[in-house]
């Protein structure tokens, strides 16, 4: 068996939600740009770039309406959609070769629906993408299958899993085919700001030349390792664990066309197809440091801790709340919550369809998440109190509710109450505070 080790961070985000985010950003950008920007009698215009050097400083003069930093999932989707809308778009990406990463390999059905709305659904074709119809959960020798509730959708609507790099290249190709979209390889060094307003970017070309580019609107979407994020916001990043990724060749999964989730000890393991001959295995390793490959610690961890548990599964991190619920814990109330969650999902019907709709991006309502999360907690309390409650069981039930609150409310707070429940009230753009006398 040829195994390929790839190490990534738990920053891995589900592509479906990135695409949903991209879609709403596109809608917001359309509101920000003037209605006639880049559009002359309904015709698309090409991007023209001129380089002017004065006293050793080079400036890239361009008539683009938008500069996009980064040509990943969000950047490429934005470039294509704005370009198709008649905008003149310039994209600056640090590396235009095919990425080799373990993030964004499982596209949820909700993400595929957004691809269709953006006219990008053919980007999952010709890359050996695999259809995904749901999940299989494994725990302590038991297993259950959860299907996406796709009955009301077109037959083509399903999840897709694939090599992330192939998908990214297809999206870049699609965007670059538009005459008014220009893709350029370069590293953006900083944003150009004048009196609190972003005017453009300073970047280094592939040949090492430092240039400046200007446009009425600059959009930054250069990924989790962005060197610009600090100038736009102050994110509080928590890294509880890291993913170790393996590619398993010519293997079979118990439930084909499903993501497999093993509720292992101490944390989940994921399996899903990324091609017709390859299966991705993601092992979540707690802690901020991955065991060393060179001295054999990682190999030992996989053989002694991971390999002896069920032999199948999981998905791209079951989000913050589910991650904490599914991780093994010495806390009795947390163990009871874990058992209740598994049994709740095993009930089927609305009990599994609701959570799977949330996981798949088909139901974007945060209230549903809160309702199902506490339904699991109440279900767990009911298991404890029936048929005969005892003081110990009543105390554990109270701890279970308290523990559930301690999991979900900090996540809601971190995401932002307005962002989750009232997204329409959140500004769609960032403007730095004005500073007197500053001129950059």
Domain boundary among 231, 265, 286: 231
Domain boundary among 298, 328, 358: 328
pLDDT in tens, 28-56: 444 445 444 544 444 445 555 555 554 55
Q: Is residue 180 part of a domain?
A: yes
Over 60: is that where the pLDDT of 119 sits?
A: yes
Q: In the chain, what percentage of residues exceed pLDDT 70? A: 72
Q: What are phi and psi of 206, to 5 degrees?
A: -60, -30
User: What DSSP string describes 125-184?
Assistant: TTTT-EEE-EEEEEETTEEEEEE---TTS-TT--EEE--HHHHHHHHHHHHHTSTTEEEE
Residues 6+ apart with CB under 8 A from 406: none
Q: What's the pLDDT at 425?
A: 62
Q: Is residue 73 part of a domain?
A: yes
Over 50: is that where the pLDDT of 212 sits?
A: yes
Neighbour-count burial of 71, counting CB atoms closer than 10 A to its CB (0-12 exposed, 13-18 middle, 19+ buried): buried
Q: Is residue 419 part of a domain?
A: yes
336 shares its domain with 376? yes
Q: Is residue 429 part of a domain?
A: no
324 shares its domain with 262? yes
Q: Is residue 31 part of a domain?
A: no
266 shares its domain with 292? yes
For residues 358-366, give the mean pLDDT.
68
User: What DSSP string describes 371-385?
Assistant: HHHHHHHHHHHHHHH
**What is the span of the domain harbouring residue 191?**
66-105+163-231
76 shares its domain with 167? yes
Answer positive or negative: Cα dihedral of 198, 204, 205, 209: positive
Q: Is residue 341 part of a domain?
A: yes
Q: Residue 2: pLDDT band by 50, 70, 90 thresholds?
A: very low
pLDDT: is 286 or 57 the higher one? 286
Residue 78: CB atoms within 10 A of its CB come to 26
Answer positive or negative: Cα dihedral of 74, 179, 198, 49: positive
190 shares its domain with 70? yes
213 shares its domain with 276? no
Q: Is residue 4 part of a domain?
A: no
Q: What's the pLDDT at 353?
A: 85
Domain count, the chain: 3
400 shares its domain with 277? no
**439 SS3 class:** coil
CATH of the domain at 94: 3.50.50.60
For residues 141-146, give the mean pLDDT.
86
257 shares its domain with 198? no
244 shares its domain with 272? yes
Query: What is the reported pTM?
Result: 0.67
337 shares its domain with 419? yes
202 shares its domain with 290? no
271 shares its domain with 188? no
Q: What's the pLDDT at 293?
A: 84
Q: Is residue 112 part of a domain?
A: no
Q: What's the pLDDT at 173?
A: 97
């Amino acid at each position: 068996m040829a195994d390929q080790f790839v190490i990534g961070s738990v920053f891995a985000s589900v592509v479906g939600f990135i695409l949903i985010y991209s879609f709403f950003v596109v809608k917001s950008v359309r509101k920000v740009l003037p209605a006639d920007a880049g559009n002359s009698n309904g015709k698309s215009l090409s991007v023209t770039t001129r380089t002017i050097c004065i006293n050793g400083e080079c400036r890239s003069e361009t008539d683009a309406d938008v500069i996009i930093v980064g040509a990943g999932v969000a950047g490429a989707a934005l470039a294509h959609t704005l370009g198709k809308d008649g905008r003149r778009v310039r994209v600056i990406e640090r590396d235009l070769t095919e990425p080799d990463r373990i993030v964004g390999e499982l596209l949820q059905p909700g993400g595929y629906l957004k691809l269709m709305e953006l006219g990008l659904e053919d980007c999952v074709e010709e890359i050996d993408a695999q259809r995904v119809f749901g999940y299989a959960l494994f725990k302590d020798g038991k297993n259950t299958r959860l299907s996406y509730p796709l009955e009301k959708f077109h037959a083509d609507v399903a999840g897709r899993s694939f090599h992330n790099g192939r998908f990214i290249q297809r999206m870049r190709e699609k965007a670059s085919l538009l005459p008014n979209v220009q893709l350029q390889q370069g590293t953006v060094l900083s944003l150009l700001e004048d009196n609190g307003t972003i005017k453009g970017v300073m970047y280094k070309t592939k040949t090492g030349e430092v240039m400046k580019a200007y446009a009425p609107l600059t959009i930054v979407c250069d990924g989790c390792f962005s060197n610009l994020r600090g100038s736009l916001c102050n994110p509080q990043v928590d890294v509880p664990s890291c993913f170790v990724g393996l590619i398993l060749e010519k293997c079979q999964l118990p439930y084909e066309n499903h993501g497999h989730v093993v509720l292992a000890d101490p944390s989940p393991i994921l399996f899903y197809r990324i091609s017709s001959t390859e299966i991705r295995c993601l092992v979540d390793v707690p802690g901020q440091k991955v065991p060393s490959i060179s001295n054999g610690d990682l190999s030992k961890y996989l053989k002694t801790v991971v390999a002896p548990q069920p032999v199948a599964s999981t998905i791209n991190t079951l989000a913050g709340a589910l991650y904490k619920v599914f991780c093994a814990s010495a806390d009795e109330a947390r163990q009871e919550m874990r058992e209740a969650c598994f049994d709740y999902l095993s009930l089927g019907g609305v009990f599994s369809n609701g959570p799977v709709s949330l996981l798949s991006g088909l139901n974007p309502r945060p209230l549903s998440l809160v309702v199902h999360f506490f339904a699991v907690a109440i279900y767990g309390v009911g298991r404890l109190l029936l048929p005969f409650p005892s003081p110990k069981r009543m105390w554990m039930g109270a701890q279970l509710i308290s523990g559930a609150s301690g999991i979900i409310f900090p996540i809601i707070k971190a995401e932002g109450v307005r962002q989750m429940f009232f997204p329409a009230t959140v500004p769609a753009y960032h403007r730095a505070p004005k500073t007197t006398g500053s001129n950059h």
